[in-house]
Chain A
Amino acid sequence: MIRLNNIVATYTTTRGEVSAVDGVNLEIPTGKIIGIAGESGCGKSTLLKVIYGDLIYPLALKTGSVQYGFDSFGQEVTTSDIKEYWFKRISYIPQSSMSSLNPVIRINKQFTDHLDPSTDKAKVLEDVRAYVQKLDLPPEAIDAYPHQLSGGMRQRIMVAMGTFFNPDIILADEPTTALDVVVQKGILLLLMGLQEETKSTIFFVSHDMGVHYQITHKMLIMYAAKVVEFGDSDIIFTEPLHPYTRMLIESLPTIGDDHLRTGVSGRPPSLWEDLTGCRFAPRCPLATELCQTTEPEFKEYRRGHFAACHYAENTYQSSEIAILYDHHPQNQSPE
């Protein structure tokens, strides 16, 4: 179990501090692919940084900590000492493989330069050569310079780097965004296969709900620095509890359905404002007086399925939401 204990992460700016992750309290089961979804600026990447322990100025962990669910010398590893386990027990797959590899150094050197100086690097590289073949890469690929490989091969190299040391936790920040769909599919299948084999926990950030649907076991939906829903992906995609989640899913096209996709109109609130009540209320077709004034509690409604909505228990049909949505004052066309 990975525990996120009341995490508040702030960025220091010239205007003051702003909380990009504001009070996240969660227990995440290990051995699953956890999808993190939400609009730009909702705090997905910040949450990822906090989990990775990459807290450098201007980002700081105001309160809270992460417990990683593994011990070292009998002590549970938390945020304060996770750095020592980077690329040993927790690893990271960046978004852009082109800019994440040093252009003037061979890949094999970049594969091993973070290892302890006492390690037998030649031996490690022998294993790496065998390992990359499993990832559909020629073993010579690791002796190349980054520019000599194609975009897809480079991203496979990044996956290989992130998974070779067999970490417990892998963080992937939109690892397929820069790739074309065919290559994207290959990388996603590769990640799924590796996870299946090693039973590691993958945090997968993307704003592509289609990709989340394909590969995740659990979904974590974020909105304006808060987690609004967390649960099993198959449940979330069929019976979401939070209207925001529902609207995100509604925006996905399905084959044979040719009616116009509405999307979620409006914009998330500025985190600089004084936010009272439910942060989604201004855009929510179901919002009432209560939502404007009181912040909903993030709680478990069904087994393993959490949400932060006053009306999570009301089971609206999507058609009803659509009607409510059309009558929402914000969406009325000005006449």
Chain B
Amino acid sequence: MALFQYIVGRFVSYFVVLFIGLTITFFLPRLMPSDPIEQYIFELQSQAGQTMSPDEMANLRETLSQIYGLDGSLVSQYLGYLERVILHFDFGPSFASFPAPVIGFIVRALPWTLGLLVTTTLIAWTIGNLIGLRAGYHHNSRAATVMEVVGVALYPIPYYIVALVLIMVFGYLLSIFPLTTTIRPGPLTFAKMRVILYNSVLPALSIIVVGLGWNILSMKALSFAHKEEGYVTFARLKGTPSRTIMNSYVGRNSLLPQITGLTLSLGAIFSGALLIEILFSYPGMGLLMRTAASSGDYNMLYGTILVTIFAVATATLVLDLIYPVFDPRIRYR
């Protein structure tokens, strides 16, 4: 019963967060001084190089208002917006590639970002924690010191610098990997998977390298602290094998904050990969956001922002639901 209440509570707060996110995304652009319709008409006119008659102009305004969902009162606009977004996942048409719907772009970009970032974040997290645990547990050994130096050296480098260095070395000087991502559309065959992997090596590497540094450092600090706990001493005095102490005692306890960190970084992957995707022209959400921002494609921008909100909220929800599995002290309350 307590478990049921806990889960219902988490879901309620999840939907509240999503709702607030939706609402802010709706009202924020309407508070901006620029009007997308006027802007569009202005662009149209300057491109065409001729003026429209007032009648045509009014007609166009009305049509655009309808398409953009900008007709009627603010309340009816809001309700229409909620209905479209929640029930149909319809973020409206893209302004830049009118009238293609925004959702189509997002659906195409999403697998790229998710594939690249979920994989790299998980790889960096797993390897970083395995190394960090060993470095913290055997903190006197030479290998531990080396690993810590590696962590300290990697962690402060911004990942776009790592990306640039990798492009320079492996893409330009050695020409082992491509400079930018080029993948031809077509069905997902085994050969295409290989092309995708080949093109993803450098962007993946730059994210892993930097994430690794942070994970090593934090896990090392955590396991070094937990090593001094009374239960670790007692386990040693019991004659528990060193491996068991490292994994079940030091590792298990140090992992709890790291799981929180993993979930939060999974939620932040959309914004996190922005520069990587731009640098490698990787066709994911980051590139989409950037293109939308530079071309004034509001619908596209809001669509991507909403998906990001959805992702962060979902990651937090998942954390809340699974955390008690890792830490029995959390009660379903």
Interface residues of A (CB under 8 A from B): 52, 54, 83, 86-88, 92, 94, 96, 99-105, 109-110, 113-114, 145, 147, 161
A114 touches B240 (CB 8 A): yes
> Is the Cβ of A87 less than 8 Å from the Cβ of B239?
yes
Give the residue name and chain of the A residue nearest to B238 (CB). A114
Q: How many angstroms from the CA of A103 to the CA of B234 in the assembled complex?
A: 13
Within the complex, which residue of A83, A96, A102 is in contact with B235, where a contact is CB–CB below 8 Å? A102
Q: Jot down 16 A-B pairs with beta carbons below 8 A, ordered by A.
A: A83-B239, A86-B238, A87-B239, A92-B237, A94-B237, A99-B230, A100-B234, A102-B231, A103-B328, A104-B252, A104-B326, A105-B249, A113-B235, A113-B240, A113-B244, A161-B238
Across the interface, do B327 and A104 meet the contact criterion of CB distance under 8 Å?
Answer: yes
Are B329 and A105 in contact, with the CB atoms below 8 A? no
Instruction: Considering the complex, give the chain B residue whose CB is closest to the CB of A110.
Output: B235
Q: Are A52 and B237 interface neighbours, CB within 8 A?
A: yes
- Report the interface size class on chain B: 20 to 34
Q: How many A-B residue pairs have CB under 8 A?
A: 63
CB distance from A106 to the nearest CB of B (A): 8
Query: Interface 1/0s, chain B 21-62, versus A by CB < 8 A?
Result: 000000000000000000000000000000000000000000
Contact with A along B295-333 (1 / 0, CB 8 A): 000000000000000000000000000000011110000
Check: B99 CB closer than 8 A to any chain A CB.
no
CA distance A92 to B230 in the complex (A): 13
Contact B239 A86 (CB under 8 A): yes
The distance in angstroms between the C-alpha atoms of A102 and B239, with both chains bound, is 15
Contact of B230 among A94, A104, A110, A113 (CB under 8 A): A94
Kindly identify, within residues 236 to 254 of chain B, every residue whose CB is under 8 Å from any CB belonging to chain A. Answer: 237-241, 244, 248-249, 252-253
* Distance in Å: Cβ of A253 to nearest Cβ of chain B: 32
Partner of A94, one of B234, B239, B252, B329: B234
- Contact indicator A102/B248 (Cβ below 8 Å): yes
Question: What separation, in Å, do the CA atoms of A7 and B238 have in the docked complex?
Answer: 24
**Least CB distance, B253 to chain A, in whole angstroms:** 6
Chain B 214-248 near chain A by CB (<8 Å), digits 1 or 0: 00000000000000011101110111110010001
The reply on B256 being an interface residue by CB < 8 A is yes
List the 7 closest A-B pairs by CB distance, nearest first.
Answer: A99-B230, A86-B239, A100-B234, A114-B240, A114-B238, A102-B231, A114-B239
The answer to whether B237 touches A54 (Cβ under 8 A) is yes
Given contacts A52-B237, A54-B237, A114-B238, contact A100 B231 (CB under 8 A): yes
Within the assembled complex, what's the spacing in Å between the Cα atoms of A145 and B331? 12
CA distance A99 to B329 in the complex (A): 14
